[in-house]
Chains A and B, each alone.
Chain A
C-alpha cells in the first residue's frame, strides 16, 4: 500500500463524484417524483454521448458547446417517451413498468447500434482532454474538474428548483401524494412529464461529458447505470437530497480501493455492490 498516492486518490474520487451525482440525480428524480425505476436511464446517457459525438463529426462542435443542443434534445426525447409510453403504465404493477423501461433501453441501444455501429467512437481533437494541472504530486485533470463544476452547478440548480420554485414544490407535492396533489389542482401528468424529461436531460448532459472522457459505444451507459443504482439505493430510494453525499461516498471509496490495494481497480464494482449490501442490511437491521 503506497500512501503517497493517497492525495491523488482523494482528488480523483471527489472529482468523479460530480459525474456520479449528475447521472444518479436524474434516476432519483424519476424514482422519487414519478415512482418509476427507469432501466433506460443509462441509454439516455448513451444517446447524449452519441449526439455530442455526431455534433462534433458533422459540425465540429466542441463537446462542451454541444451541451446547449444535446440538453434540449434529450428533454424532448424524455418528454416524448413519457407521453407515448411511460404514462400508460403508471398504475400498472412495478414489474410491467420495469419491463417497459428495460425494453425502451434495448430499443435505444439497438437504434444506436444501427446508426453508429458497434465500434467505439472517438471525439478526436479535443485539445483540453489530456491536460492536467500539477499541484505537487497531485494532478487535477481539466476534464474531470470541468465535469465536476458543471455537475455541481446542475445538481445545485436542481436542488434550488425543487426547494424554491413553484414547479419544484409541485414535484414534491406529487411525489408525496399523487391523488392529493391532483385534488388541490396540480396537473399531475404535466409534472410527471417535466420530471421525466428533466431526468433524461441530466443523463444526456452526463453523456456529453463521458463522450469527452471515453469512446461512446451503444453500451457505454451500463457502468454508470450500475453506479447510479448503487448511489440511489445508498441515498434511499427517491431521496434526491441524499444523492450528493452518497455519490461522494461511492466515488471516494472506489478511488481509495483502486489506488491503495493491489489490482484495486478491478475491485471497483465490488466496492459499490458491497455498499448496496451493507446499506440494505443496515436498513433492515434498523427496522427490527
Chain B
C-alpha cells in the first residue's frame, strides 16, 4: 500500500513539474486588402518561431503558434479572437494590424483579458475629442502591450525631418478611415505648433477600402495651394496612382511625403517613385548588425529580402513573448506581465523595451524607431536623420 501511495505521489509531483507546451494565438490579416501586411507578419513570426525553438523553445518545450486570419475586418477579428480564447484556450495573444479591427476587439479583450501584445492599431485617439482611440481605451490596461508607434508618434517623427529641410507649407491628403483621419488631425496640430502652415487637409477614399485610385479631384485642390510639401496618409495600393497623378496634373510640390503602412513591391522601379519620401522602421540595407542578421536569416528562410517592416515587428514581438515567459519561468499572467514590463528585448531595429506613452502603460517602439527614406533611382536611400543617412535628400522640382 505504501509503495502504491509513493508511486501515485511521484506521478502527481511529476505532472506538476512537467511544463505544458506554450501556445500563442495570433491575429493577422492573411487575406483581403491588407494581406500584404499580414503575410509579412506571418513570415516574421515563422522566422522567430524557428529560432526560438532551435534555442530550446519556451519553458523547455517547443513554442506553438496558432495564426488566425482576421482579414483586417472587425467582425472576422472578433470571431477569430473568441475562437482562440474558447476553442484553443490560449493565454497570450499577438499579431494585430488594422485600427478598425482593433477597436472592434476592445470589449472582447476586456472580457477575456489575456496578455495581449499588439503590433498595429496605431489610432491612439490622443488629440481627437470626437474619437475614442485604442491608446485611450486599451492603453491603461495592465495586460495590454502595444508595439507599433502610435499615430501621433508617427507624425512626431516627421516633424524633425520637415523642420530640417525648411518646409514652410504642407498640403495633407489622407484616407478617410480610422487610420488616416486621426493621423491627419494630429499632423495638422503638430505642424501648426511648429509654425508650418497646413494649407489643405483633404480626405480621400483609399483603393484599399473600395476607391478606384482616381485622386485627380483631391490633387487638383493641392495644385491650387502652392504647398512646399504634399503629405499623404493612405495605404500601400494608393502609392502608385497618387504619385503618378501628381505628375500628370503637373502639381508637383518640392517634396512628396507618403505615410502608408508599407509600399508596393516594385514601386521603386516606377519613374513617379523618384523623389518620394516616407517613414520606415526597418530596411534590409540598415547598417546595424541586428538588421543585417535578420535580413540574411529571413532571406535564407523565405527566399526574398524582408521589404515590409511589419515582418521585423512581428519577429520582435514573438521573441519578446518567448523571452518574457522564459524569464518568468511560468505562464502565470502576473509573472509574465512583470517580465514584459522590465525586460529589454532584441529586434532587427536594435534593443527595445516597453515604457509608458501618453495614456498607455506599455508602449514598445516610439517616434525614434522611424527613419526617413527616399526613392532615388529605384533604391530606398535613408535621407534622415543625417547621422544614419545613406544619401542626401533630393527635391522633386
Residues in A lying within 8 Å of B, measured CB to CB: 2, 4-5, 8-9, 12, 16, 57, 109-110, 113, 117-127, 129-132, 134, 139, 141-143, 210, 213-215, 217-220, 222-224, 226-227, 255, 258-259, 262-266, 268-269
Q: Are A130 and B272 in contact (CB under 8 A)?
A: yes
Cβ 8 A contact of A266, one of B205, B221, B250, B266: B205
With a cutoff of 8 Å between Cβ atoms, the chain A residues found around residue B245 in the complex are 130, 141
Cβ 8 A contact of A262, one of B34, B202, B244, B264: B202
Which A-chain residue is minimally distant from B180 (CB atoms)? A266
Q: Bound complex: CA of A90 vs CA of B153, how far in Å?
A: 56
Q: Bound complex: CA of A269 vs CA of B267, how far in Å?
A: 27
Among the 9-residue stretches B8-16, B187-195, B211-219, B318-326, the one with 4 or more Cβ atoms under 8 Å from chain A is B211-219
Q: Are A266 and B203 in contact (CB under 8 A)?
A: yes
Interfacial residues of chain B within 246-300, with CB under 8 A of chain A in the complex: 246-250, 262, 264-272
Q: Are A132 and B247 in contact (CB under 8 A)?
A: yes
Q: Bound complex: CA of A151 vs CA of B33, how far in Å?
A: 27
Q: A120-B36, A215-B236 are in contact. Are A5 and B267 (CB under 8 A)?
A: no
Which A-chain residue is minimally distant from B177 (CB atoms)? A266
B210 close to A (CB within 8 Å)? yes
Q: Bound complex: CA of A223 vs CA of B212, how far in Å?
A: 6
Q: Are B271 and A118 in contact (CB under 8 A)?
A: no
B309–chain A nearest beta-carbon distance, Å? 13
With a cutoff of 8 Å between Cβ atoms, the chain A residues found around residue B271 in the complex are 125, 127, 129-130
Q: Are A110 and B31 in contact (CB under 8 A)?
A: yes
Interface core residue of A122, A125, A227, A264 (most chain B CB under 10 Å)? A122
Interfacial residues of chain B within 12-32, with CB under 8 A of chain A in the complex: 29-32
Cβ 8 A contact of B212, one of A8, A127, A224, A264: A224
Query: Residue-by-residue, is B159-197 near A (CB-CB < 8 Å gives 1, otherwise 0)?
Result: 000000000000000001000000000000000000000
With a cutoff of 8 Å between Cβ atoms, the chain B residues found around residue A142 in the complex are 248
With a cutoff of 8 Å between Cβ atoms, the chain A residues found around residue B213 in the complex are 210, 213-214, 223
Q: A12-B214, A118-B34 are in contact. Are A129 and B264 (CB under 8 A)?
A: no
9 closest A-B pairs by beta carbon, nearest first, are A118-B35, A124-B269, A119-B36, A258-B217, A130-B247, A214-B213, A266-B176, A120-B264, A132-B248
Which A-chain residue is minimally distant from B36 (CB atoms)? A119
| Given contact pairs A217-B35, A218-B35, a sample of 9 additional A-B residue pairs in the complex whose CB atoms are under 8 Å apart | A9-B217, A109-B31, A117-B265, A119-B36, A124-B268, A125-B270, A220-B237, A258-B218, A268-B211
A223–chain B nearest beta-carbon distance, Å? 5
B204 close to A (CB within 8 Å)? yes
Q: Are B32 and A120 in contact (CB under 8 A)?
A: no
B198–chain A nearest beta-carbon distance, Å? 14
Q: Are B265 and A120 in contact (CB under 8 A)?
A: yes
Q: A2-B221, A129-B270, A215-B239 are in contact. Are A223 and B207 (CB under 8 A)?
A: yes
With a cutoff of 8 Å between Cβ atoms, the chain B residues found around residue A127 in the complex are 271
Q: Are B248 and A215 in contact (CB under 8 A)?
A: no
With a cutoff of 8 Å between Cβ atoms, the chain B residues found around residue A2 in the complex are 221, 224
B241 close to A (CB within 8 Å)? yes
A112–chain B nearest beta-carbon distance, Å? 10
With a cutoff of 8 Å between Cβ atoms, the chain A residues found around residue B244 in the complex are 129-130, 143, 213
Cβ 8 A contact of A215, one of B204, B205, B210, B264: B264
A280–chain B nearest beta-carbon distance, Å? 20
Q: Are A213 and B241 in contact (CB under 8 A)?
A: yes
Q: Are A265 and B205 in contact (CB under 8 A)?
A: yes
Cβ 8 A contact of B202, one of A125, A131, A263: A263
Which A-chain residue is minimally distant from B35 (CB atoms)? A118
With a cutoff of 8 Å between Cβ atoms, the chain B residues found around residue A8 in the complex are 216, 220, 249
Interface core residue of B204, B207, B216, B244 (most chain A CB under 10 Å)? B216
Cβ 8 A contact of A16, one of B29, B211, B214, B243: B214
Q: Are B240 and A215 in contact (CB under 8 A)?
A: yes
Query: Residue-by-residue, is B32-66 near A (CB-CB < 8 Å gives 1, otherwise 0)?
Result: 11111111100000000000000000000000000
B308 close to A (CB within 8 Å)? yes
Q: Are A217 and B224 in contact (CB under 8 A)?
A: no
Q: Are B216 and A122 in contact (CB under 8 A)?
A: no
With a cutoff of 8 Å between Cβ atoms, the chain A residues found around residue B210 in the complex are 222-223, 226, 269
Q: Are A125 and B269 in contact (CB under 8 A)?
A: yes
Q: Bound complex: CA of A141 vs CA of B272, how far in Å?
A: 14
With a cutoff of 8 Å between Cβ atoms, the chain B residues found around residue A263 in the complex are 176, 202-203
13 inter-chain pairs at a CB distance below 8 angstroms, sorted by A residue, are A57-B266, A117-B265, A121-B265, A124-B266, A130-B244, A217-B36, A217-B207, A220-B237, A226-B210, A258-B217, A263-B203, A265-B211, A265-B218
Q: Are B266 and A121 in contact (CB under 8 A)?
A: yes
Cβ 8 A contact of B205, one of A16, A118, A268: A268
With a cutoff of 8 Å between Cβ atoms, the chain B residues found around residue A226 in the complex are 210
Q: Bound complex: CA of A129 vs CA of B224, how far in Å?
A: 22
Which B-chain residue is minimally distant from A257 (CB atoms)? B217
B206–chain A nearest beta-carbon distance, Å? 9
Q: Are A265 and B217 in contact (CB under 8 A)?
A: yes
Q: Bound complex: CA of A27 vs CA of B36, how far in Å?
A: 29
With a cutoff of 8 Å between Cβ atoms, the chain B residues found around residue A139 in the complex are 248-250
Q: Bound complex: CA of A266 vs CA of B209, how far in Å?
A: 10
A176–chain B nearest beta-carbon distance, Å? 34
With a cutoff of 8 Å between Cβ atoms, the chain A residues found around residue B39 in the complex are 117-119
Cβ 8 A contact of B248, one of A125, A131, A214: A131
Q: Bound complex: CA of A210 vs CA of B244, how far in Å?
A: 13
Q: Bound complex: CA of A121 vs CA of B207, how far in Å?
A: 13
Which B-chain residue is minimally distant from A53 (CB atoms)? B266
Q: Are B221 and A119 in contact (CB under 8 A)?
A: no
Q: Bound complex: CA of A226 vs CA of B218, how far in Å?
A: 21
Q: Bound complex: CA of A9 vs CA of B30, how far in Å?
A: 38
Which B-chain residue is minimally distant from A23 (CB atoms)? B212
Interface core residue of B220, B236, B308 (most chain A CB under 10 Å)? B220
Which B-chain residue is minimally distant from A262 (CB atoms)? B202
Cβ 8 A contact of B203, one of A118, A124, A265: A265
B204–chain A nearest beta-carbon distance, Å? 4
B193–chain A nearest beta-carbon distance, Å? 23
With a cutoff of 8 Å between Cβ atoms, the chain B residues found around residue A262 in the complex are 202
Which B-chain residue is minimally distant from A56 (CB atoms)? B266
